[in-house]
Amino acid sequence: MPVRPILRYPHAGLKVVCEPVVAFDENLRALAADLLDTMRAAPGVGITAAHVGVFQRVTVIELSRDDGVRYYMNPQIISLSQETLRHTEGSVSMPGMTDDVTRAKAIRFRYRDLDGLPHEEEADGFLAVCIQHEIDQLDGIFWMQRLSKLKRDRLIKKWEKTGA
């Protein structure tokens, strides 16, 4: 499948709240395959359809090749643990830029798979961080909005110096 161009920060598409997936068909499967190839080429461990300018609630996560690929359509968090963790985050839309973000250590969430079947699962640690990060993007919240204004401003200045 083709690697698609990735929207770069500060593209307005990164602020779009994505629409739910309603058609679980071959077009969705092709999009999911393209997202996987695009994410691997970036490289990254997670990507949403919004990253490539398709504003549907589709995300792909692959923490490692051994872990396998996870496809989530219409994911939503049901509950968050009170316990948090800090993890270094970044984005395929802002390559080379990272900072520490505090998120819930564990979550319970629901989603649909590529066939449209509903699932409800729990995740913790790095997977929970990734799911929260990608759901934020589906909601039009770019990861660095989770940083303090000072850290965000520094990151933006650093990004602008890269000429991206």
Active site residues: 134
What is the Cα–Cα distance from 28 to 49, expressed in whole angstroms? 10
Residue 132 CB partners (closer than 8 Å, separation 6+): 77, 103, 104, 107
In angstroms, rounded to a whole number, what is the distance separating the alpha carbons of residues 118 and 148? 36
Nearest partner of 32 among 56, 14, 7, 8, judged by Cα: 56
